[in-house]
Structure 1
Amino acid sequence: MGVPDEMTAVRIREHGGPEVLEVARVPVPVPDAGEVLVEVRAVALNNTDLWTREGSYGAPGNPDALSGWRGPIDFPRIQGADVAGVVVSVGPGGDSGKIGRRVVVDPAIYDGEGPDAHPIGLMGSERDGGYAEYVTALSSQVHEVTDSPLSDAQLCALPTAYGTALGMIERGEVTGDDTVLVTGASGGVGLALVQLAHARGARVLAVSSGSKVESVRRAGAHEVIDRAKDVVTQVRAASREGIDVVLDVVAGDLLGAGLPLLREGGRWVVAGALGGHDVAFDVRRLYLHNARIIGSSMHTPTHFTMLMDLARKGGVRPVIAETYSLAQAARAQEELGRRRHVGKLVMYPLADRGRVRSEGHAR
């Protein structure tokens, strides 16, 4: 079966609430030289989808400016950073041997070609993404996972959440000898941090609460800190010698209050601001104890290659909370914003065609 001329996609024409998501029939993109066309089998939702839609990233000197991940959005924009699928065509001069291969797309747009390049853009924000039946991607950023034991839903859960988590762990220099504190542990990145840090052999303390606690324990947390109570007091009691690395997607007041929790030479890695971006802390707790605060935005090409090696071996298994069809994108984003789930929300763009097998829910 050939590639059709048109496809169903979900896009935004402006910043706003879920109501700005529109289901549309649009032309199937044509891959340029150096690109491939991927049939999207599954696409995961992320907080980046909500914040890009809302324009919540701000701008230097104007934190309230409407902005995408790294600047103004070119509308209309098809959302969706996290894609697992199958290569169905290649651009001029491309390797036709890639056709038919099961792949995961690295969604980052990098500032260079080296293994340690920094992400400066994101698929679904700075270029069209995977809320669609087809998407183009650079051939160099399509990673084959044909023999992976993971489902399409599990594979698409990896790029942003687990890529961000692995970037934090690598930049924080986490080892098997470390005691690690993970904030926001029931979210997509938080749960990935728990799983990956546990797999590395670290002792993991995770901040969560309520009905999500047992899911966080099952992911690998050695102790769960109740975020509804005094987090700093609980962490001190659980790790009297201090914390080696904090892996933080929350920031806010905890960063200032929690800096004294770090051991000498400790690292506080920040990759989110769910608790607020305006942070104050006692700078003496930083320099007197040789501590480091490290900003971490997603992954490098090296980190993503490491992640795909894990995917091929089934070395990490993402938790899938719920699945949706593409036509349910607004509902799925609303559920993501409620933060009642544990794990990842995933859409099947081909579901309405009846071509995607059920791959289960939370597992």
Structure 2
Amino acid sequence: MTSTIPSSIPDTMSGIVLTGHGDTDKLHYRDDLPIPILSNQDVLIRVAAAGVNNTDLNTRLAWYSKKEADSTDASWSGQALSFPLIQGADVCGIIVAVGSKVNPKRIGERVLIEPCLQEANGETLNPPGYFGSECNGGFAQYTKVADRHAYAIQSDLSDSELASFPCSYSTAENMLSRANVCAQDRVLISGASGGVGSAAVQLAKARGAHVIAITSASKRQALTDIGADQVVTREDDLVSVLGENSVDVVIDLVAGEQWPTFLQVLSPGGRYAVSGAIGGAFVELDVRTLYLKDLSLFGCTVLAPNVFQNLIHYLEQGKIKPLVAKTYSLKEIVQAQEAFQKKNHLGKIVLTVATR
């Protein structure tokens, strides 16, 4: 049994569909997309704003594939994608309808969607999937998600500001949680001016850590303004500037050629957490460094329990602040992704969604 969509909601909607792996010519704006059909446990959300992420571009470009020029494993979960696909993992919106097994009192709630999904289309996902990858996401006027993944939020922040949080901040909080970051830890954060990196700076400071951010020279002051205690540039030699065995935790979103130095600057017993590889996916590891220094390495993808609820609490208590670099309309998704790829911004790029 499924829900009945209220007559006030149109039969079709506008949105962006990805028609295959490739360049931005695979992104198409359409105004004849069907409204999502709800399962018993789903909620229908009228989307107000949706953030742009590395995941969107990586999925489009088949970057996740470990087989060159092969799309059979080019998704977040390592499975082939089904096209056309509506992407968009970061969503702020209003619940406008619910499935038959969802409390109807939820209608009218302002919500953020937890992007790491344990359930989609009425089925448990094993392994978990990602919103806008293993199922349609938020680059449309309406979207659906399992009730358990729609979190009510009480906040004075705008829709665009709230849409800057779900993916980046939950990813950052998950990395900090896995690495057990606590007060007085010295934490080194790569890619600190990006969405996840800038989130990690704020969230690490909220835990009382000493934060060292890696960014470009032009963004030094901006990172200091959001809480970084020390800023080093991408061109700096970390061992020379920081010293060997000088940090307790590395939060890495870059990897690439600089990767071996991350282990050099980690102190014995240090922790390394990674959730991105924008600088290059293949790195050189001296296993002797790993075991002689008793290091712990954490790959972070699936959100640990309570991570997203913790994020909601931080927001409602005003402990973290939005960093919205620029907003675009849904029709301007190509311009938004091109701006995102240039990496000249601090924080998030967000698409605003107009409803009928």
Find the partner of 1:260 among 258, 264, 270: 264
Q: Does 1:149 align with 2:156?
A: yes
CA distance in 2 between partners of 1:339 and 1:27 (Å): 34
Residue matched to 1:9: 15
| Aligned residue type for 1:133 | Q
Q: CA deviation at 1:41?
A: 0.7
Q: Does 1:334 align with 2:308?
A: no
Q: Which runs of 5+ in 1 are unaligned?
A: 354-363
Which sits farther off after the overlay, 3-12 or 86-95? 86-95
CA distance in 1 between partners of 2:68 and 2:252 (Å): 20
CA distance in 2 between partners of 1:89 and 1:122 (Å): 22
Residue matched to 1:65: 70
Residue matched to 2:238: 231
The 5-angstrom pairing of residues 263-342 of structure 1 reads 263-342=267-346
CA distance in 2 between partners of 1:229 and 1:21 (Å): 38
Residue matched to 2:103: 95
Q: Does 1:19 align with 2:25?
A: yes
| Aligned residue type for 1:12 | L
The 5-angstrom pairing of residues 46-61 of structure 1 reads 46-59=53-66
CA distance in 1 between partners of 2:160 and 2:303 (Å): 20
CA distance in 2 between partners of 1:186 and 1:103 (Å): 26
- Asked whether the 8 Å contact 1:82–1:130 carries over to 2, the reply is yes
CA distance in 2 between partners of 1:45 and 1:53 (Å): 13
CA distance in 2 between partners of 1:151 and 1:191 (Å): 19
- Asked whether the 8 Å contact 2:168–2:196 carries over to 1, the reply is yes
Residue matched to 1:360: none
Find the partner of 1:77 among 85, 89, 96: 85
Residue matched to 1:359: none
Q: Which runs of 5+ in 2 are unaligned?
A: 1-6
The count of aligned residue pairs is 342
- The normalised TM-score by structure 2 is 0.92
Q: CA deviation at 1:149?
A: 2.6
Runs (4+) off by over 4 Å: none
- The normalised TM-score by structure 1 is 0.90
Q: Does 1:177 align with 2:184?
A: yes
CA distance in 2 between partners of 1:261 and 1:311 (Å): 33
Residue matched to 1:357: none
| Aligned residue type for 2:88 | G
Residue matched to 1:356: none
Tell me: CA distance 1:102–1:23, structure 2 relative to 1, closer, same or farther (3 Å): same
Q: Does 1:40 align with 2:47?
A: yes
Tell me: CA distance 1:309–1:274, structure 2 relative to 1, closer, same or farther (3 Å): same
Q: CA deviation at 1:64?
A: 5.4
Residue matched to 1:361: none
SS of residue paired to 2:64: coil
| Aligned residue type for 1:23 | Y
SS of residue paired to 1:16: coil
CA distance in 1 between partners of 2:226 and 2:68 (Å): 35
Cα RMSD between the aligned structures?
A: 1.8
CA distance in 1 between partners of 2:290 and 2:156 (Å): 44
Q: CA deviation at 1:241?
A: 5.7
